[in-house]
């Protein structure tokens, strides 16, 4: 417990700020850049989790799942909470451009960069047209 919070909770005076929060304007950051009262995860979280017993690990998973649902995020998603977007299908015009660029001598990686397609999309277009990779 933070010492300032402990003193406030023990004193029990009439008009004091209860619950350990500080008056507006008095929030400062410590040397690590964290606000007082904010939780900081250990630097090596994976190793720290190994010390939990099964019951505590189950409680942690349940609490994290509940918080994830509360925030409207999918559990087990990608870091940052955003699911990877599925690539849009390649249009007929893009297919023609890819084939023309390949015929002109560009390599598939360069075509992918030029037309902002994935390498797999370019390879799919070339394979569908019966063109071999260079």
In this predicted model, what pLDDT tens digit does every residue of 73-131 receive, in sequence order?
Answer: 876 655 555 666 777 899 999 999 999 999 999 999 999 999 999 999 999 999 998 87
The model's pTM? 0.38
Nearest 10 degrees: Cα torsion 66, 70, 76, 81: -150
Per the listing, tokens 């249009």 go with 91
Residue 127 CB coordination number (10 Å): 11
pLDDT reading at 33 higher than 90: no
Provide the pLDDT for residue 32: 55
Task: Give me 32's structure tokens.
Answer: 């690590």
Query: For tokens 């029990």, what's the residue?
Result: 12
Domain residue ranges of the chain, discontinuous segments joined by +: 42-72, 92-128
Closest CA to 36 of 8, 62, 77, 5: 5
For residue 40 the two structure tokens come to: 């900081």
In this predicted structure, the answer to whether residue 58 has a pLDDT above a threshold of 80 is: yes
- For 77, other C-beta atoms within 10 Å of its C-beta total 12
Residue 108's nearest CA partner among 84, 134, 83 is: 134
pLDDT the model gives residue 65:
87
Residue showing tokens 């008095």: 26
SS3 track for 2-46: CHHHHHHHHHCCCCCCCCCCCCCCCCCCCCCCCCCCCCCCCCCHH
């Amino acid at each position: 417990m933070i010492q300032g919070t402990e003193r406030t909770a023990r004193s029990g005076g009439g008009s004091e700020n209860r619950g350990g929060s500080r008056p507006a304007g008095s929030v400062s950051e410590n040397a690590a850049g964290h606000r007082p009262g904010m939780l900081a995860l250990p630097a090596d979280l994976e190793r720290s989790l190994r010390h939990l017993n099964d019951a505590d690990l189950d409680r942690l998973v349940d609490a994290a799942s509940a918080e994830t649902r509360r925030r409207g995020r999918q559990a087990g998603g990608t870091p940052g909470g955003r699911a990877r977007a599925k690539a849009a299908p390649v249009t007929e015009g893009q297919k023609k451009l890819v084939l023309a660029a390949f015929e002109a001598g560009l390599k598939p990686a360069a075509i992918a960069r030029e037309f902002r397609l994935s390498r797999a999309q370019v390879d799919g277009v070339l394979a569908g047209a019966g063109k071999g990779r260079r």
